[in-house]
Structure 1
Amino acid sequence: MVNQDLRKEAHDVEVTVWVGKSGHGAVLEELKTQLQDRKLVKVKFLRASRGGTSVEEMAEELAENAGAEVVDTRGNTAVFH
């Protein structure tokens, strides 16, 4: 289970990465860079990026590619650590 303290901290984190119709490949390097500088990064998946895929699936795939951990997903937003 993910650390509850991280989930609490994630509440106040602002979205700094947006995944659009180009998909998560377009933001992968940006996410990696931000994770080096910050403890938590919040990513919003815009409608155009989702197609028929759920936010949870997209977040897990992005986390795997970025070498990160998904802390939480809510609505169209995911938090990475």
Structure 2
Amino acid sequence: MEKEKLYQLKSDASKISPILNIGKNGVTETLVEELNKQIKANRLVKVKVLKSAEEGQDLKTIAEELAKATRSTIIDVRGRTVVLYR
């Protein structure tokens, strides 16, 4: 992905709120289905990873799992928030 597009997407992401929260159940089929719907509707989505979801794996692993499951691109991982784009 080209740098200007990446900067623009990061800028756009700063203006939106997280659509989904990932809790202690982690990345489930239901969550992936809902995330796919949201990505299809909005293209750029923000997902909040709660502290309870991180047990046993780090945020980067969770972000990669989400991106792979939804066939999207990780735009940014900041704090406990993951921004995905398709």
**Coordinate RMSD, CA, aligned:** 1.3
Structure 2 counterpart SS, 1:24 = coil
Q: Work out the CA distance in 2 between the residues paired with 1:11 and 1:51.
A: 27
Instruction: Say yes or no: does 1:45 pair with 2:49.
Output: yes
- Helix, strand or coil at the partner of 2:11: helix
Match of 2:11 in 1: 8
Superposed displacement of residue 40, structure 1? 0.8
TM-score by length of 1: 0.92
Identical aligned residues as a percent: 33
Q: Give the alignment partner of residue 31 of structure 2, picking from 27, 30, 37.
A: 27
Cα deviations across residues 1-49 of structure 1 (Å, max 9, x unaligned)?
Answer: 5611101111011111100011111411110000010021100010111
CA distance in 2, matches of 1:56, 1:32: 19
Letter in 2 for 1:8: S
Which one-letter code corresponds to 1:37 in the other structure? A
Instruction: Give the gaps of 5 or more residues in structure 1.
Output: none
Q: Aligned residue pairs: how many?
A: 81
Q: CA–CA distance in 1 between the matches of 2:60 and 2:16?
A: 19
| Superposition misfits of 4+ residues, deviation over 3 angstroms | none
